[in-house]
Amino acid sequence: QQAVGRTVNGTVDTTTWSALLDGPVRDRISLARQIRDAAAITLATAHSGGVDAASTARQNIVDTADGKGAATSPWSDVPGQRVFLNAQMLNGLLKLTTDHGYTLSISELVGGDHSANSRHYVGVAVDINYINGTHVGSGAPHAAAMAACTKLGATEVLGPGDAGHSTHIHCGWPRP
């Protein structure tokens, strides 16, 4: 149950069984639709480092909600790839708003330019540049949001004070 993001209760109920059979695909699509439609989540429609509408955070979520892979940016270390966003990461992102009460702006998912071996390129990382309407690095409650990411299963959590993360927090879940 834990492996598919369910509460561990020792029984394989219909929800757990369904998640074990086809849950990751169904959950990924359902979670992306919820994120796409969430009033508490703003998805970037542009990049800070280049122009490619197909690989913005918003388009990554729209494509995932439509059952497609999310596009990497042409200037990235893995240009022109389609990557399936991870259901655990999407669930964590959604729960930052539903369970922890944050309003978020997402700057990148698989698009943009990251380190060569970045978790972004395998669909398990998210960059958040605004928390509750305040830019990260300008007084946003980034430490608490970073702790929430860790509580939600992220194992790579970076932000102000970490190299290259002075303006956003990076929450990365385990690689598949």
Please tell me the distance from the alpha carbon of residue 39 to that of residue 15, in angstroms, as a whole number.
27
7 vs 124 pLDDT, higher one: 124
Please tell me the distance from the alpha carbon of residue 28 to that of residue 22, in angstroms, as a whole number.
10
Please tell me the distance from the alpha carbon of residue 123 to that of residue 120, in angstroms, as a whole number.
5
Per-residue pLDDT at 22: 47
Tens digits of per-residue pLDDT, 120-132? 999 999 999 999 9
DSSP β-bridge partners for residue 106: 43, 128
Tens digits of per-residue pLDDT, 37-78? 999 999 999 988 788 899 999 999 999 999 999 999 999 999
Where are the alpha helices (H) located in the chain, listed in sequence order? 14-37, 57-65, 87-98, 142-151
- In order of 6, 41, 65, 80, 103, the CA distances from 119 in angstroms are 23, 21, 20, 16, 23
Q: What is the mean pLDDT of residues 111-117?
A: 92
Domains and CATH numbers, the chain: 12-172 (3.30.1380)
Q: What is the mean pLDDT of residues 112-137?
A: 95
Nearest by Cα to 100 from 60, 128, 122? 128
Q: What is the pTM of this model?
A: 0.84
